[in-house]
Structure 1
Amino acid sequence: MQLVETDGGFDLILAGRAMLRQRSDAPCLYVGRGAPRVEMYHGHFDIEDNVEERVGLRYAALTRVSDGSARIALSIAPALPPLVTLTLSGGAQDARIHIDAIDPTLNRLWLRVVADKGEHVWGGGEQLSYFDMRGRRFPLWTSEPGVGRDKSTLLTFQSDQKGKAGGDYYKTNYPQPTYLSSRRYALHIDTTAYSAFDFRQEGWHELEIWAAPATIELWARDAFTDLVTALSDRFGRQPPLPDWVLKGAIIGLKDGATSFDRLEKYAASGAALSGLWCEDWVGLRITSFGSRLFWDWKWNATRYPDLDTKIKELHDRGIRFLGYVNPYLCVDGSFFPEAEAAGYLAKKLESDETYTVDFGEFDCGVVDFTNPAAAAWFAERVIGQNMLDFGLSGWMADFGEYLPTDVRLHDGTPGMLAHNAWPVLWAEVNARAVESRGRTGEALFFMRAGYSGVQRHCPLLWAGDQSVDFSRHDGIGTVITAALSSGLLGNAYHHSDIGGYTSLFGNVRTPELIMRWSEMAAFTAVMRGHEGNRPRENVQIDEDEQVLAHFARMTRLYAHMAPYLRALSDEAVATGLPVQRPLFLHFPDDPATYALQESYLYGADLLVAPVIQPGVDRWSTYLPAGTDWVEVWTGNLHVGGRAVTVDAPLGKPPLFYRQGSAWTELFTGIAAVI
């Protein structure tokens, strides 16, 4: 790290990369005051900021310290006292900038980071619409992503009109104020406050933070892979994938006791099976949105008679049983009065009355995880006793993004600062429960919500509730973008609902969609189905013989790839590298790979280009320069550094492996599995 004083300012340089440039006529830091307006409706947030003041800090006074750090006092004018101090520390490749507001009423910061023309940036948590974030602004606030997520479509318009649920390109369950740059550095804002990345300017990136102080962390590396490892070191590593998961697909059914009979149809089809996931193990509640669960986290013996016996029978066959839980308790359930009596639920701001949230025709209490006793109670009483001890091997740990901003929490954290942190607390509760039973790396829970640090607790992400279609901003293709963006930030394992989830306003999934989604899912960390929010209105895998046969072949392909996936999992444990990787991660000298988001590397040696449009049987994709590529289905050799168009009938998604790969025998065996 170098701090170079200039006439009227300074330059901060990290490993030869200009990071900050301060001049009296072009300050790098602006401060101010703002008052937000926040409205939440079923997990969708309408947020506006009334910026009362914004001023540039044009004058800098530097003080160097003997340990190599520096302190910079920033003010509006030379004769005025400083408003902010920057404390800079670090080494040759890493740096920290701690920002302190001397005036405690300052609650807005805008920091400008040097940018280059043609630069690319990635990250921002789990982004769904745009992998390369350059040219757009991204607010970072965990929320429902919305339905359709494209204001020009009828589906988004209808969703906005009915329930303010249309969403937009930047909305995500899992934001994170971290990005990587094609200039080969990474930046993280260490804050839980509402923040935003603005990548629309040619000469700088502007970071907006609704709080002070904050800390900016920087890493510079020559290799993108080393940057990913550095971020994984910072945020935490996931344990290895459980061995049982690699045996095949997790079948998602929510059909009560009938689910076991339907599972047998999957088995008879020749599908490779690893688990049965029944989110309705707790019972159902029927709403206008569709079939919802009864949010009281224990076995519903009426809907699933003899479930305890069934779980053991499945286990003896090598099939695990998975369930569902989330961090809220319905007011008409048994756990709500227990938690309320113990003081474990969040309160209203102005009274000791329990805060309840409307989740769409039913209300729930919010378990206050800032209260250590409440977190311990949920981990032991709910997850430990009622789930792990009962026999569950995993579950969907849903939600986490609904914390209202007007709640009173046990530790006094304001809602605006607690909201983004909530998914991480929720992940920690689940991880502690698993650890308490000695089952870390063996029991598997998966989450959609996240924020900085969720990596060290959550063993598996899923991409949330996609629409049951091929749409650009909310369909099948968005899960590739989600895996790539989150994977760069240390989330090694990612997967999605095969066939999508959200079916509204006559939008229903087709057999083609399920088959194409199955082809993609075979080359992800976990292969799992879902019946969706309206099961009876949408085609299910086991209801169509062609779809079932196709799905069974894809599950066998997933199982065939298990040795490779195990090696990728071991690599993730050692280095933090994700299973699904952007092409530039291993081809950094090919800039044509920097903006690609419709294909990915499965590990370092296999390129997957899923068909994500309907009605096509040929598909084009780019093959990175620097190696030749072998097409799996034909054995044809393709020169890297150009786009190719290949046949892509159902059952044969475009797959290419590096010529000379150590895994050539496994890859050439794919065709025999199909």
Structure 2
Amino acid sequence: MTIDWDVKDSTLEIRYGQEPIMCLALNECAHITPGPLSIKHIMAWDIVRMPFAQIHDMNSWTRSGKSTGQEIIYLYHQDTRYSMSFKLTLINPWHLELEITTSAAGFLRITWHTPSEELWQGFGEHTHSIRPPAQFDSWVEEGPVGLGWLSGWLKKAPFVPFPKGPYPSYASMPLWLSSAGYSAWFTSFERIRWNLTHTKRQATIWSTMTTLHIITGQTPKDIFSRQFSVLGLPASVPSWALAPWNDSIRGQARATHLAHFLRSHRIPSSVIWIEDWMGSNENRRRFWMRPLKHTVDTELYPHLPQLARTLHEQGFRLLGYFCPEITYGTDLYRQALNDDILVKDSKGEVMAINILGIRHGQIDVTHENAMAWTHRYLLSPALALGFDGWMVDFGEYLPLEAQLADGTSGHISHNRYPLLWQKIHRAFWEQQRPDGNFVFFVRSGWIGSHLLAPVIWGGDSDTDFSEADGLPTVIPEALSAQISGFFYWATDIGGYMTFGLTRPRSRALFLR
């Protein structure tokens, strides 16, 4: 890679060989002074607005003396004290590192000029391919939810899929592949707000500093090979994880019957997943797993160790379910309060995490005792029951107003939370089964999750053909997840959730 600085055109052009791959517009890079933060909670989503009080576009620049493989460009706003610096380090001929900082508290804005035909793919796992013009955030949250048969009629309206458009994601990440011949990613955990047009791309990083990595290659295969030599390759999963899995709910007798049915009909299956092992509720409107008490429901599963032994004898592995939320009033919640392990606000009060109208506490994964506490009270008892893994769910619900044990705010650590939550489970299983004979799977993620979570799951897709969150969204989801490093990815055959106007799954949907 080479760097061409054009003072007249105010551009910093990065080339690979003779071809330009990235053109940074220096005079459209800016220091931003943010205004007051506004957070509106809508069900599982936060609508976050922050007006910009002042935007200081850079209007002059100087170049430092170039050393071997490194140089610094200083950008200034001549009428104020604000400035930015670009430190460019050529790690090797195909890997450029660009450290960007601003001189005062505030946000950074980076602007690219691109040909209209240049396409960007990736940005984590997304149910819809991102096409300019597009505005979205790199921010871990619930994915989109469709409106059943209405989605086809309302898909061009800004409020469909409900409630934030098509781009919210459980595993949104600031990493993309460009048709110009490179991949790139930001290392920031803070929110990044993107504004993509056909010939201009802008990223506003809600931080005073960030690092941008740029990887080049002759082909996408070259780029991916180099990208993951930097980010790291995931460990292999055990062979049984690659066969079909079956979900079983509503108790031990049903799980036993399902296992017998699968084997007697010679249906390939390696896993029985009892996601409601800690309890569930059902009425005419819905089935749901509550309360989240993280201990076995002995009415549904009166002899769980025996079930595990029976399934193992039949060649199945047994998976369960965990999340970092603990239902208010349960024994485990009282234990967590006593051990001071739950997320708090700035006043030191335990924060309430509302999911489906039920109050929960959330494990503070930055607490110095969080890993040992989770291993002791959640994971070790489950392993003793006979589980071979579980779903490591959620990770998207850390409030921005949280003040964590390590001194960071919810804003700083929101996107970091899934990594710390997954790290707790990775450490447990590597300690208990160093041979790798385990699987846990997740739905949330950030850059680095591919090294921690053996498998990522596509999330709560609808059980229909809707274009908002049904079967047509599965292929974009799989492809964007792969670009972002989730090599072992899966979705539920027939979808997962029948919600609102969603149609129940059909034979045709299963076949497709």
CA distance in 1, matches of 2:327, 2:479: 35
Q: Deviations over 1:563-613 (max 9, x none)?
A: xxxxxxxxxxxxxxxxxxxxxxxxxxxxxxxxxxxxxxxxxxxxxxxx4xx
Q: Does 1:190 align with 2:193?
A: no
Q: Does 1:468 align with 2:466?
A: no
Which residue is equivalent to 1:233?
229
* Length-normalised TM-score, structure 2: 0.92
The AA in structure 1 aligned to 2:310 is E
Which residue is equivalent to 2:144?
146
CA distance in 1, matches of 2:323, 2:154: 26
1:432-471 alignment, distance < 5 Å:
432-439=427-434, 441-471=436-466
CA distance in 1, matches of 2:65, 2:425: 45
CA distance in 2, matches of 1:151, 1:279: 29
Which residue is equivalent to 1:116?
115
8 Å Cα contact 2:463-2:503 kept in structure 1: yes
Q: Does 1:175 align with 2:172?
A: yes
Q: Secondary structure at the match of 1:441?
A: coil
Which residue is equivalent to 1:488?
483
> What value does the CA root-mean-square deviation take over the aligned residues?
2.5
The AA in structure 2 aligned to 1:381 is Y
Q: Which runs of 4+ in 1 moved over 4 A?
A: 79-82, 149-152, 154-157, 286-289
Which residue is equivalent to 1:136?
134
Q: Does 1:249 align with 2:250?
A: no
CA distance in 2, matches of 1:252, 1:323: 10
How far did residue 48 of structure 1 move? 1.6
CA distance in 1, matches of 2:435, 2:163: 37
The AA in structure 2 aligned to 1:463 is G
Among 19, 31, 34, which residue is 2:22 paired with? Answer: 19
Give the 3 Å change call, closer, same or farther, for CA 227–313 of structure 1 in structure 2. same
Q: Secondary structure at the match of 1:424?
A: helix
8 Å Cα contact 1:327-1:399 kept in structure 2: yes
Q: Deviations over 1:29-77 (max 9, x none)?
A: 1221223312334431112221111121021111024233111111122
Which residue is equivalent to 2:320?
323
How far did residue 440 of structure 1 move? 5.9
Among 378, 391, 398, which residue is 2:386 paired with? Answer: 391
Give the 3 Å change call, closer, same or farther, for CA 506–195 of structure 1 in structure 2. closer
CA distance in 2, matches of 1:41, 1:156: 20
The AA in structure 1 aligned to 2:488 is Y
Which residue is equivalent to 1:85?
85
Among 211, 218, 222, which residue is 1:222 paired with? Answer: 218
CA distance in 2, matches of 1:500, 1:252: 12
The AA in structure 2 aligned to 1:193 is E
Among 289, 293, 302, which residue is 1:296 paired with? Answer: 293
The AA in structure 2 aligned to 1:239 is A
Which residue is equivalent to 1:73?
74
Q: Secondary structure at the match of 1:382?
A: helix
Q: Does 1:374 align with 2:370?
A: yes
Among 275, 278, 283, which residue is 2:279 paired with? Answer: 283
Among 339, 346, 349, which residue is 2:346 paired with? Answer: 349
Give the 3 Å change call, closer, same or farther, for CA 115–257 of structure 1 in structure 2. same
Percent identity at matched positions?
23
How far did residue 419 of structure 1 move? 0.8
Q: Secondary structure at the match of 1:293?
A: coil
Give the 3 Å change call, closer, same or farther, for CA 407–11 of structure 1 in structure 2. closer
Q: Which moved more, 1:175-184 or 1:111-120?
A: 111-120
Give the 3 Å change call, closer, same or farther, for CA 502–70 of structure 1 in structure 2. same
The AA in structure 2 aligned to 1:172 is S
1:524-673 alignment, distance < 5 Å:
611=512
How far did residue 431 of structure 1 move? 0.8
The AA in structure 2 aligned to 1:493 is Y
The AA in structure 1 aligned to 2:167 is Y
CA distance in 2, matches of 1:261, 1:499: 21
The AA in structure 2 aligned to 1:102 is S
Give the 3 Å change call, closer, same or farther, for CA 367–182 of structure 1 in structure 2. same
8 Å Cα contact 2:102-2:108 kept in structure 1: no
Which residue is equivalent to 1:39?
40
How far did residue 188 of structure 1 move? 0.6
Which residue is equivalent to 1:536?
none
How far did residue 286 of structure 1 move? 4.7
Among 210, 231, 248, which residue is 2:206 paired with? Answer: 210
Give the 3 Å change call, closer, same or farther, for CA 440–409 of structure 1 in structure 2. farther
8 Å Cα contact 1:58-1:75 kept in structure 2: yes
Give the 3 Å change call, closer, same or farther, for CA 156–408 of structure 1 in structure 2. farther
8 Å Cα contact 2:76-2:83 kept in structure 1: yes
The AA in structure 2 aligned to 1:40 is H
How far did residue 228 of structure 1 move? 1.6
Q: Secondary structure at the match of 2:478?
A: helix
8 Å Cα contact 1:187-1:218 kept in structure 2: yes
Give the 3 Å change call, closer, same or farther, for CA 509–234 of structure 1 in structure 2. farther
8 Å Cα contact 2:118-2:179 kept in structure 1: yes
The AA in structure 1 aligned to 2:56 is V
Which residue is equivalent to 1:309?
306
8 Å Cα contact 2:148-2:503 kept in structure 1: no
CA distance in 1, matches of 2:162, 2:24: 41
Q: Deviations over 1:592-644 (max 9, x none)?
A: xxxxxxxxxxxxxxxxxxx4xxxxxxxxxxxxxxxxxxxxxxxxxxxxxxxxx
CA distance in 1, matches of 2:501, 2:146: 13
CA distance in 1, matches of 2:4, 2:261: 69
Q: Deviations over 1:313-332 (max 9, x none)?
A: 21112111111110111122
8 Å Cα contact 2:56-2:82 kept in structure 1: no
How far did residue 267 of structure 1 move? 2.7
Structure with greater contact order relative to length (CA < 8 Å, sep ≥ 6)? 2
Which residue is equivalent to 2:3?
3
How far did residue 165 of structure 1 move? 5.2
The count of corresponding residues between Structure 1 and Structure 2 is 502
Which residue is equivalent to 2:262?
266
CA distance in 2, matches of 1:51, 1:80: 17
Give the 3 Å change call, closer, same or farther, for CA 167–13 of structure 1 in structure 2. closer
Q: Secondary structure at the match of 2:89?
A: strand
8 Å Cα contact 1:11-1:18 kept in structure 2: no
CA distance in 1, matches of 2:447, 2:464: 30
Q: Secondary structure at the match of 1:110?
A: strand
Which residue is equivalent to 1:544?
none
CA distance in 2, matches of 1:420, 1:382: 23
5+ residue gaps, structure 2, are: none
How far did residue 28 of structure 1 move? 4.1
Give the 3 Å change call, closer, same or farther, for CA 174–122 of structure 1 in structure 2. same
The AA in structure 2 aligned to 1:52 is A
Give the 3 Å change call, closer, same or farther, for CA 276–437 of structure 1 in structure 2. same
8 Å Cα contact 2:148-2:501 kept in structure 1: no
How far did residue 496 of structure 1 move? 0.7
5+ residue gaps, structure 1, are: 517-610, 612-674
Q: Secondary structure at the match of 1:505?
A: coil
Q: Does 1:337 align with 2:338?
A: no
CA distance in 2, matches of 1:409, 1:115: 40
The AA in structure 2 aligned to 1:67 is T
